[in-house]
Amino acid sequence: MKDAKTIYAQSSDIKSRTYLEYRRDMKQKAIAELEILPWLRKKIQKEDKTATVEKYGGDRFMWFLRKGGITRDPDFIVKYSNGKVRYIETQYAKKEIKAYDFKISKIAPKDRKLKKRVPKKDTTVLYVIKPIRKYCIIEPEWIIDNSKKAIASAWGNAPVFRVNSENFDGRLKGDISFKRICELIDMKIEILDFQHNAIDMEKDKLSYLLQQVVDENKIMKIIPKTLDGFFKVCFMLDNLNKTPENANLWLVYLLSFTDQKLNSYELFQLVYCLDFLYPRVELEKNEIDLLVKKIKQIKSMIDNFAKSDGSYQSDKKLAQLEDTRYSLFVINLIEDLIQDMLHYYGDILDLNPIKRIYENVADVDKTYEFITK
């Protein structure tokens, strides 16, 4: 008879880390929105010099939710000098398409008093057609007047307003600055996918751990003594969806490894564990201060690994491409962590908000060239 405290894990239990996968998808959207924001601000301020254009949620906006899901908040908020407030929703096409879908619930929510759907009066849609570097800004009324109702299988059979390309394409615009924005979005998404492959490679290497009989109580109680041990245990607990006992102590002990000289792979291990533990704890003031200090320390380490050709090198024993991959992974998760901490603990933090994804990469163009050559 199997011990109830023992988990018999098979290789089939090693599923994609859905939370990180979800966050990668959300990060793509954040990459686009944060690259677009300065351009959008300039465009609106040509008509109203004192208008403010910000991400909805301001500096503390979240590009992913801790427990998954999608926020219903608009993407941008515009405040005009006359007191008027307008919201902007963004949609993206990764390829040229024959028809453009808009969720009915976002364009024309139900009015309970009128008992019918009414187009939003305070919302505009910015639609970006990335491959041809063009965009259009349209009102909900126009979408309703120029569409037919349909079902979008890509959105779980959600009801949509569908506008055919003949009606839509005539409204598309483009300019040189917008072309550059689209190029940056493409490069950063390529970097995101490149660094995310580090997780898949580690899963292949550590799959044997999840094929063993695991004493759940033991691995949840005993704090590992080495960084490699920490990584393996957190990997197992993560895939088994378990939280260690005294997780706050685990986090504090984990952060002590930053006092050692670490290469990019070791920082990858540390930050993976940090990313696993952080959402499972409620931090006290002293723990927050410690974490902020260590985040700055990790950022400084990564900065010192940066090379003039866009690559990263921390250890000659590591292949430079992999050294770069691990460094980018660390940058990615540290940016996630900073923004999450600002959202939940912002009033007491000595951290600057993330204005653009991979803003801590010294030269995005060169890094992109290095990983794709």
- Give 298-350 pLDDT, tens digit per residue: 999 999 999 999 999 999 999 999 999 999 999 999 999 998 888 888 766 78
Helix axis angle, 264-277 to 285-305, nearest 10°: 150
Question: Distances from the Cα of 93 to the Cαs of 99, 140, 188, 241, in angstroms?
Answer: 10, 18, 16, 34
DSSP label of 228: H
Nearest to 233 by CA among 246, 245, 220: 220
- Give 116-145 pLDDT, tens digit per residue: 899 999 999 999 999 999 999 999 999 999
Q: Which amino acid is at 43?
A: K
Which domains are assigned to the chain? 23-180 (3.40.1350), 188-372 (no CATH)
The two tokens of residue 296 are 């700055």
Nearest to 76 by CA among 22, 124, 31, 142: 124
- Give 77-122 pLDDT, tens digit per residue: 999 999 999 999 999 888 888 899 999 988 998 888 888 899 999 9
pTM over 0.85: yes
Label the pairing between strands 134-138 and 85-93: unpaired
**Predicted confidence band at 218 (pLDDT cuts at 50, 70, 90)?**
low
